[in-house]
Amino acid sequence: MASSELSQLQNLPMERNTVSSKTASFLLDGFLFVGGGLVAFLVVWTLWSFFSPTPANFSSSLLYRSETSAGSRLSSCAGTVPGPDMRHDPPDQNFYDDPELNYTINTPPIKNWDEKRKEWLKQHPSFASGAENRIIMVTGSQATPCENPIGDYLLLKLFKNKVDYSRRHGIDVFYNNVLFEPKMFSFWAKTPTVKAVMLAHPEVEWVWWVDSDAVLTDMDFELPLDRYKAHNFVINGWPNLIYQKKSWTSINAGVFLIRNCQWSMDFMDVWASMGPQSPDYDKWGEIQRSIFKDKNFPESDDQSGLVYLLLEQKEKWGDKIYIENEYYFQGYWAEIVGGFDNITDKYMEIEKKVAGLRRRHAEKMSESYGRVWEEYLKEAGNGWGGWRRPFITHFTGCEPCTGDHNKIYSGKTCYDAMQRALTFADNQLLRNYGFVHPDLLDPSKVNPVPFDYPA
Ligand SMILES: *[C@@H]1O[C@H](CO)[C@@H](O)[C@H](O)[C@H]1NC(C)=O
Ligand SMILES: *[C@@H]1O[C@H](CO)[C@@H](O)[C@H](O)[C@H]1NC(C)=O
């Protein structure tokens, strides 16, 4: 984008209005509270009316108006917490009371899950509102210490990155450290975990599996859930590689979104049936190798299993599976990390020109600024070849915990790249806390961010 266009954008009336109306309402709030004595009086009055069974009937209309405005704030301080009610589980029976329902993957299939979930939401109306877009992020690692001496250090930082992203976007996180089906090791551990999470979280619509070695490198980006309205499963992949090349790496099973519904229960049962707990495990290994010529190991794996279902049972599952490649739903680190410095420069160039983007704000307001950013990222591309921050940088092949990385690169290459990605993400986050890392390769150093930086 040319800089002249940018300065035009900077002067958009919309942006100035947003800022000035915010300022105006801030001043108005201040005005309501100027009289300290009045405030103290109102506090006492509100507290008193809390304990009084029949609130006093004030006749002064001026006082009454002030009280409703200030009182609504104060009452939320005093205990009526709005939002989901986590303290009352009605005694009415629901699927949790069914002794036949098991959380494990190799038990009788879950039936009528849509109805069961709906019934639970009906019993818990405070969770029903907003349920259609609610997400839980699911990730995890092995139960035992990492073999790689810096493995647990890296896992902690990788987890911190996911928690940071999720806190910014109001998403819950479940970190799993155990195999819910002991035979389903490593990459097979996803399906038993996701099934249990769906049962444990009827309040969420989407389960978002994110491998432990994936880094969220755009802290602002919001999953475009509207795009997936008609789908139940979202994965990064390339249709020509799936359907023409028949490659087992045509998709990446390390990051996916799956809707909390009956379709997904059925899908996961079929997917899991190719796993090591199944008597047909060896047979599936042979079938996968016969179809995917580029697969160079004999065991059945979850990713090949997914491509198999797309390829061989397309009519049954295909139309509910969204192959996402319009942004970095997940991207291969080796093609991403070299671009971080240029991306940082581009974003800073924009911030220098747009005062509204430089404004300090509460972390909880991040999404509102992220949406303003979108206006200035229209020319940034979608990741491939562009300068938009990649959403997820996936360290496929680096194996931070075991250290058993792909031999085409050194361990140091992997860990340095991971460090850079984590620091790149941390920099976006630390801005809200007033700090910035000056060097992507030195995660221990931070500088305070001056006011109005980087004007
Ligand atoms: C549920 O799991 C328990 C213990 O793992 C098992 O004994 C029981 O048979 C299972 N129920 C069903 C319906 O499979
Ligand atoms: C970064 O930008 C410079 C200048 O535009 C360009 O020459 C260089 O190739 C870019 N580096 C990468 C890794 O894209």
The ligand whose atoms approach the alpha carbon of 110 most closely is 1
Give the rounded distance of the alpha carbon of 439 from its chain centre: 26
What does the pLDDT read at residue 77?
58
Q: Tell me, using a 6 A CB cutoff, whether residue 342 lines ligand 2.
A: yes
Q: How far apart are CA 22 and CA 329, in angstroms?
A: 34
Which backbone phi and psi does 394 adopt, to 5 degrees?
A: -105, 125
SS3 for 330?
Answer: coil
Q: How far apart are CA 300 and CA 282, in angstroms?
A: 7
Query: 393: burial class by Cβ within 10 Å (0-12, 13-18, 19+)?
Result: buried
Q: How far apart are CA 358 and CA 337, in angstroms?
A: 25
Question: Sign (positive/negative) of CA torsion 57, 59, 61, 66?
Answer: negative
Q: How far apart are CA 159 and CA 271, in angstroms?
A: 27
Task: Give the ligand 1 atom nearest the CA of 108.
Answer: 14
Question: What pTM was estimated for this model as a whole?
Answer: 0.83
Q: How far apart are CA 385 and CA 394, in angstroms?
A: 17
SS3 for 284?
Answer: helix
What is the Å distance from ligand 1's center to 102 Cα?
Answer: 6
What is the Å distance from ligand 1's center to 94 Cα?
Answer: 18
The size of the chain, in residues, is 455
Task: Give the ligand 2 atom nearest the CA of 338.
Answer: 13
> In order along the chain (455 residues), what is the average pLDDT of each group of 10 residues?
35 33 36 39 38 36 39 51 86 97 92 98 95 97 97 98 98 97 93 97 98 98 97 97 96 98 97 96 97 96 97 96 96 96 96 97 97 95 85 97 96 97 98 97 97 95
Task: Give the ligand 1 atom nearest the CA of 101.
Answer: 13
What is the Å distance from ligand 2's center to 443 Cα?
Answer: 23
Q: Tell me, using a 6 A CB cutoff, whether residue 338 lines ligand 2.
A: yes
Q: Which two tokens stand for residue 10?
A: 């900077």
What's the half-sphere exposure (Cβ side, CA atoms, 13 Å) at 109? 16
What is the Å distance from ligand 2's center to 3 Cα?
Answer: 18
Q: Are the CB atoms for 349 and 455 separated by under 8 Å?
A: no
What residues line ligand 1, using a CB cutoff of 6 Å? 100, 102, 107-108
Give the rounded distance of the alpha carbon of 278 from its chain centre: 32
Q: Whose CA is nearest to atom 2 of ligand 2?
A: 342
Pairing relationship of beta strands 321-324 and 233-237 according to DSSP bridges: parallel
The ligand whose atoms approach the alpha carbon of 385 most closely is 2
Q: How far apart are CA 178 and CA 189, in angstroms?
A: 9
| Paired strand residues for 256 | 209, 235
Q: Tell me, using a 6 A CB cutoff, whether residue 345 lines ligand 2.
A: no
For 232-257, give the DSSP string: SEEEEE-HHHHHTS--TTSEEEEEEE
The ligand whose atoms approach the alpha carbon of 109 most closely is 1
Among 101, 102, 110, the mutation site with the greatest number of ligand 1 atoms within 8 A of its Cβ is 102
Q: Tell me, using a 6 A CB cutoff, whether residue 339 lines ligand 2.
A: yes
Question: Sign (positive/negative) of CA torsion 231, 234, 239, 243?
Answer: negative
What is the Å distance from ligand 1's center to 260 Cα?
Answer: 22
Task: Give the ligand 2 atom nearest the CA of 342.
Answer: 1
Task: Give the ligand 2 atom nearest the CA of 339.
Answer: 13
Q: How far apart are CA 228 and CA 132, in angstroms?
A: 12
Cα dihedral: 297, 299, 304, 306 (round 10): -170
Task: Give the ligand 2 atom nearest the CA of 341.
Answer: 1
All structural domains of the chain = 95-330 (3.90.550), 333-437 (no CATH)
- Residue 205 is given by DSSP the state S
Contacts (Cβ under 8 Å, ≥6 apart) of 255: 208, 209, 210, 211, 214, 235, 236, 329, 330, 392, 394
Q: How far apart are CA 65 and CA 206, in angstroms?
A: 43
Among 335, 342, 388, the mutation site with the greatest number of ligand 2 atoms within 8 A of its Cβ is 342
In 141-250, the DSSP E strands lie at 172-176, 206-210, 214-216, 233-237
What does the pLDDT read at residue 228?
98
What is the Å distance from ligand 2's center to 37 Cα?
Answer: 61
Q: How far apart are CA 241 and CA 228, in angstroms?
A: 22
What is the Å distance from ligand 2's center to 338 Cα?
Answer: 9
What does the pLDDT read at residue 42?
39
Q: How far apart are CA 209 and CA 193, in angstroms?
A: 9
Which backbone phi and psi does 138 adopt, to 5 degrees?
A: -125, 130
Q: Are the CB atoms for 390 and 219 separated by under 8 Å?
A: no
Task: Give the ligand 1 atom nearest the CA of 100.
Answer: 13
Give the rounded distance of the alpha carbon of 254 from its chain centre: 14
What is the Å distance from ligand 1's center to 107 Cα?
Answer: 7
